[in-house]
Every structure is written in structure tokens, then in C-alpha cells.
Copies of this chain bind each other. A is one copy, B any other.
Amino acid sequence: MSDLQNTPNPNTPIFSPLYQQIKALLLQSLSSGEWNAGDMIPSEVDLAAHFKVSQGTVRKAIDELASENLLVRRQGRGTFVATHQEAQIRFRFLSMQADNGQKFTTSSAVVDVDVILASVGVCAHLGLADSDRVVQITRVLSFNGRAGVLEKIYLPEALFPNVTADKLRAYKGTLYSWFESEFNVRMIRAVEQIRAVNAPESAAEYLNVASNEALLYVERISYTYADKPVEVRHGWYLTHDYFYKNELI
């Protein structure tokens, strides 16, 4: 149905492969909110008919989106929009592991929620104007009941309206799944800058360590569709009993 530039006998001068065009169209359906997290998308047969291409071409487009973790294929059931509700994806963005290899419980204590004018740095990373406001969330993550991470999270108020500490505390689940269900914002990828710092006063207090103690300091920028940055997160990590796991593939 759609105006793909590559009719079976392409005479058009400039074109990208059919499956790329279809991938772009699917991406559009994802980012426009036409399909929501957890939804099943149309079957390969339906999509092939709709786009008037063969099933193999649709398949290649879906394959790529699945390999980018935007879609999830389930044999016999269908293809679904990836969601942060899934266990698989839930811990993709929390990389801490215990020294002893054991499992551990994670809990979160919201310290503060403020709406403020963002610093220049945060503004730049989020692509905001000086006058735009951001929600600042301060929270402490604990592992097995012991404070392990202090985080400061910055979100554009325009995308995340009316955030309050109470609402945040009421939600059971990860922040990213809250963003998804409450604001329809899905995090797709993130980039981190990792450093070691001597604990600043503020962090030392929350983590119950001396103020020159070495901490991991992680600055993360998270992106949604179309590489749009939607979150800046600063974290101070205690790495005595837990470490940050990184896989180079």
C-alpha cells in the first residue's frame, strides 16, 4: 500500500533496499505510538500483503529490528514490541553484580523530586533551551538492604509532566518500565562515561562511607527512538561488594 520506491522493476534513480524502507516504516509505527510496548504487531504475511512485497523481505526488516531489541519474535505467537516489563530486558540497564556471584535483592528509596532549571551540561545533553525545566530525581539504590548507589536523574519536564515523589514511590518496578507505562517513553539505548572519583560529601553521606573513599561515577545519557536523548543520569557507585559488569563482544 505504501509508496515504496522500489517497485518490482525499479526504474527510479535513487532508492534504498526495500527491506530498509520497510524497516523505517515499522520504526515509524513504533515511535509514533501506533504500536505500544508489549503489543503484537501484524503478522509477516499481513505486512507482506500490506507492503506488497514478499514475506522474506518483511522478515529481513523485522530481523534487524529484533536484533536491535526493538521487537521480540515468539515462534507460534507473533512479533511483539519490546517492553521494559520483560525480565530479559529489565536488567539490561543495571549492570551491578555481586562479588560472590550470588543473587541479591535491589530496592530503591526516593530521596527527592524537584522541578528545576537544568544546568548547562544537562541542557546540552538533552537538547533543551536554557529556560526549559527538568525533573530532578534523587534516589538511593540498595543491594541486600545496604546502600550501594546514589543517583541523580534528569528528565525534560515537557516529556515527563507532573512527576511527584509519591507517584514514584507508589510504582513497583524499574524506572524505565515506569517511564514506559506512565509517559509512553521507551529507552532504547544508552551511553555511559565511567570514572573513579573520591567520594564527594553528598554521596559519602548517603552511602555511609568516608568522603575520600573511591567510588565509580557514571554519567549516562539514555535515548529513545530516532536517537532522541530523554534522560541524563549521574550515579555514584560503591564497589566494595559489588562490581560493574561489562561485556565486550
Q: Which residues of A are at the interface with B, using a C-beta cutoff of 8 A?
A: 67-69, 92-93, 95, 97, 189-198, 212-217, 220, 237, 239, 243-249
What is the total number of copies of this protein in its complex?
Answer: 2
A152, B197: Cα distance in complex, Å: 22
A92, B215: Cα distance in complex, Å: 25
Ordered nearest first, which 7 A-B pairs have the shortest CB separation?
A214-B214, A195-B239, A196-B196, A196-B214, A194-B244, A193-B243, A192-B246
Given contacts A194-B194, A195-B216, A214-B197, contact A189 B93 (CB under 8 A): no
If over half of A's interface residues share one DSSP class (helix, strand or loop), that class is named, otherwise mixed; here it is: strand
A239 and B196 form a contact (CB under 8 A):
yes
Given contacts A190-B248, A194-B244, A196-B216, 19 further A-B contacts (CB under 8 A): A68-B249, A95-B248, A189-B247, A190-B247, A191-B248, A192-B246, A193-B243, A194-B194, A194-B243, A194-B246, A196-B196, A196-B197, A196-B217, A196-B237, A196-B239, A197-B239, A198-B214, A214-B215, A216-B216
